[in-house]
Chains A and B, each alone.
Chain A
Amino acid sequence: MRSANDIRVWLQTTTGVVVVLLLVQFLTGVLLAFYYVPSVDHAYTTVSYIEKVVSSGSWIRSLHHYGSQWLTVFVFIHVIRLFWDRAYAANRIQWIAAILILGLVMAAGGTGYSLPWDARAFFSTRVAEGLMAGLPLAGQMARLWLLGGSEISGVTLSRFFALHVLVIPAVIGGVVVWRMFRTQIAELFGPRDAIVATLVFLVLALWALKYPAPFGPSVAEAGADYLPRPGAQFLWLYQSLKYIPGGLGSIVGVVLPGIVLAILVALPWLKRQRLIAGSLLGLGVVLVVIMTTVSYFSDRRDPRTAQQFARQAAAEEAWRRQPFNPATITLATTTTNVTGGAPVMYTKYCANCHGTQGQGAQQGPLKFPPLLNVSAKPRRSVDDIVSLLKDPTAYGLQPPMRSFSEKLTEEQMREIAEWIVKLRQD
């Protein structure tokens, strides 16, 4: 029975993996906070900036995104393993800490979802709002406390931000420190733990390198046909909500998990431990596995849904190829009195690629042509440039140059064109 014993020994390594993944979340979270701004008018821009402009930004954000999903899975495996080893009786602190961390990791995932303020975040915030509102007795109160007002607003985003980066990490840190001081396990990383934890991190690192974290369209740009989907660790909840009528969703999504976690935390003091924890974890595993699988296949079976996902993936891919579009911040009280400088709309839409003065620019591997002396070329009169802005392909131009007929008025395009033809290389 040597091989069965071997497997069992390797299954003991979940603590190390959870510690490494927690560390990854802390490190990447701190880094993201260096650029991210939790406000409704800048959250989307700053996440775009991290994705497109900041070196390694896409990888760091993807590590944080997928790391949160892996962390949930490994904490859950960790709980199952502890259940197997009867840790709730043998090592109460280890057991309670694991259950608390499972709840906290889910809470961190739920609050973190809202922060990019893209269309996915908007919908997940709506669902969180609905789940709170549906709670029995205190539902409306819980909703108002979560949102910080009667509507989803900048206050809501700040609340999710504070919970996600201050409250929940502090509590997780507290639980981890408490567990480390109170358990007899002096060595966190035995040789096996070290190998497994390193492997898990390396696979996550490569995964994040290959798959950037999803980033939907901005709320304003998302069409009515936009299909939001939560992260992997919430698919079971998302799928369950389809089958549960109205307010009962809050019972399944919030109250029941809360009661289950509370019972599991109290398990060391209960009788019939094996039966209670076994049935709760068993039901949990069955529910999560079935619902996640059903959600996976139902999205792929319906051809219209599959087509919409393909469109969304293509739109996200197109967004990634477009250069970063900076926000405009006005700190001046007087109106602009710039002359000879670029028109405001040029600065907003064109300057990032073609330079503030039409000198051209470079973003990573992308090179953008200068506009100086462009009027000396054929088909570049003011009228030509206006038509070109409407339909660049008609002038033989390639993406990322795109049509601006929806972004700019005829007048604004003319103002830009008249300014561009005057650009000269000295």
Chain B
Amino acid sequence: MNIDTSRRSFLKFLPLAAVFASIGGAAFRFLRPKLSAVTDAWLDVASVSELSGPQPISRKIVAEQITGWAITTEEHNVFVLPAKNNQVVSAICPHEGCEVAWEQNRNRFSCPCHESYFAADGSRISGPAQRGLDPLPARVQDGKLQVQYISKEQATRA
């Protein structure tokens, strides 16, 4: 192969190389994920006076998160445990992040995805989950029980 042909075959790829190198390099930066800003606001769960009895009480909290180009307001399920000094646990299963439901008649939380079970105090009974339901940071302010939201990503981290 003489010099002229090798230069020619190099040149053949020059335009495509220029396009792919510059746009490809920018594509990596362009597509890089942006971590969402997690709110650490205190969110109302319930008035303390409403909370009593041996059963976990299902509640919804409303949390705001800045995700990409939007501020998203979303509901999340939590359970208040009056029998455990009003501890609040997240409904997010620590296994893969599905949402557990309270089974009144069997006195346990069950996860609909992979059959993890948790006792009324949130502790693990059986199944693939490695720990009990996660307690959320909680406080009482002006007679209201408040929590800080923990995302699924934080909750399922080992």
Contact = CB atoms under 8 A, between A and B. Distances in A.
Interface in A225-243: none
A56 B69 CA distance: 16
B72 A329 contact: yes
Contacts, number: 153
Contact of B8 (A24, A191, A342, A351): A191
Contact of A338 (B22, B41, B71): B41
B62 interface: yes
A352 interface: yes
A392 interface: no
Given A60-B26, A326-B66, A340-B42, A189 B12 contact: yes
B16 interface: yes
B26 A59 contact: yes
Contacts of B60: 332, 334
Contacts of B146: 339-340
B141 A339 contact: yes
B83 interface: no
Contacts of B113: none
Residue among B32, B37, B69 with max Cβ neighbours from chain A (10 Å): B69
Contacts of A123: none
On chain B, which size bracket covers the interface? 35 or more
Interface in B71-93: 71-75
B121 to A, nearest CB: 26
Contact of A49 (B31, B41, B69): B69
A23 B19 CA distance: 8
A330 interface: yes
22 contacts: A23-B16, A27-B19, A54-B30, A56-B30, A60-B26, A187-B12, A194-B11, A194-B14, A195-B14, A197-B14, A197-B15, A327-B71, A331-B72, A333-B75, A337-B44, A338-B41, A338-B64, A339-B43, A339-B146, A340-B41, A347-B64, A356-B37
Listed from nearest, the 4 A-B pairs whose CB atoms lie closest are A341-B41, A55-B29, A49-B69, A197-B15
Interface of B: 7-8, 11-16, 18-19, 22-23, 26-27, 29-32, 34, 37, 39-44, 60-64, 66, 68-75, 141, 144, 146
Given A326-B66, A331-B75, A336-B73, 15 more contacts: A53-B34, A55-B29, A56-B27, A60-B26, A60-B30, A193-B15, A194-B13, A205-B22, A328-B71, A331-B73, A338-B44, A339-B43, A347-B64, A356-B40, A357-B40
